[in-house]
Each structure stands twice: as C-alpha cells, then as structure tokens.
Structure 1
Amino acid sequence: MVFSVREVGSAALQGLLTGLWVAAGELPTARRRLARTGATLGLSAVGSIRDWAFADEGKKPERQDIDGRRKLVVTGVVTAVGIGVMVGRKQVENRWLARLERDGHAYPHRALGVRMGALSFAGTLVTQLARRRF
C-alpha cells in the first residue's frame, strides 16, 4: 500500500481546503466568503501546477471491462458509501464543534478545521486506495 507523490499531494490539498473551509466558519460573512474563495482559487492553482508537474505519472493503465451487473453493484455501493460519508461527516463536525464550544475552546472553528482537515486527508487516501483496487 504505497501511495504516489501525486496521490498524497492530492489528499493533502483536499485536507487543507477542508480545514480552511471549516475554520473560516467563525469569520463574519464577508470575510468568510473572501477567505473561502481565496482558499479555493489558491489551492486550485496549486493543483493545476501539480497536474502539470506530474503529467506523466497520471497515466492510468487500461481497465478491463466489467460486466453490467457488477458495474451496477459497484456503482450502487459507491453511491451509498458517498452519501453515508457526507451525512456522517456533518454529524461528526457538529458533535466536535459542540464539544469544543462546551469545553470553552478559545477558537473552536479553527480547532475543528484542523480535525476535519486531517479526517479529509485520511478519507481521500482511503478513497484513492479503493479506486486503485476497483
């Protein structure tokens, strides 16, 4: 289970964007929108540079065609897992934020951003590993 530099970089960018997005939640509306837009644009630029720098590494071996029934099952499982992850992530996010606020953390959204960024990083690596297997 060795990940390439491109996969780890992609997961790191996703984790960073998630962390910045969540941490911006404590800002006033205008500053929050500006921070989120700036983070999205900045990390998109870094991602584009990464894609350009590692263009040769991105070539994927051709997949064997799978039959219709297996493809349908895999699609259903991936969709169900995706929905479950979205719902579960929001519940974890709300629970962690409530706990941080209850414990009197000075900057609960920042701490939550760090936690969610790490969770997003790990989730992205697992997703990439699953893509490689199927």
Structure 2
Amino acid sequence: MSTMYETTVNVSGGRRGHARSDDGVLDLELAMPGAGKRATNPEQLFAAGYAACFASAAMGVAKQQGYQLDDIPVAGHVALDAENHDYNLVVKLTAEVALPQKEAEALIENAHQMCPYSKAVRGNIRVDIEVKGQ
C-alpha cells in the first residue's frame, strides 16, 4: 500500500487551545462548544472532514456509475453525547443527489462503503445517512 497523503496537526491546550498543521495552512484557535468564543471545536472539524470526504466518495461513485453530476452536497452533523462521563460521537450525513430517490440511495450506500471516514468509524460510532433525491 502506498500513502497518498499524510499530515500532522499539533494541538496545544486541548479543547481550549490552538491547532496548527505542519504546513501552516490550518492555524486556528479551539474552544469548548458553546463557550461564546469565536473559535472552532473538534466536532466542527470532524463534521467538515467527514462531509468533505463523503461528498468526494459520492462524486467518485457517481463518475464510476456513469452519472454526470456537478456536485453532491453533503451536510455533516456531529453530536457529542455524554452519559456518566462516557462521551460518544453521533453523526448524521445528509446528501443531496440529483437523481431519482432509489438511484440516489444506491449511489450513497456505495459511497458509504468506499469513504475512508466511513470505514474508520464503522462499528465505532452511530452514523445515520439521509438521502435527498429527486
């Protein structure tokens, strides 16, 4: 197996700290969710990464299947659930696909099997997928 891409992000201060990628492109303040500070948090970063990866996987599947779609928008919703100091992530992805509903659902199911984020979290966290077709 050959590595297509790799990166390192250094964080100091945890959820109330600072994150900076090795190339300096990502350089931002972190804050607790709802802290009122104008800064992002790990859940937002995870939602963005998962939605972007999933959308790319869906576009790749669409191309493989012969569909010519300009875009497949994906909204990533990440919740941090806590019970008795046991913290868990819950994800909902909503994909909009300009195809009939059944075709859109099949395409998105294939994307869910292909997406590296989906593979990484499979069996570890709940991921719900909503498909909005035509």
TM-score, L = length of structure 1: 0.28
Q: Which has the higher strand share?
A: 2
Q: Which has the higher helix share?
A: 1
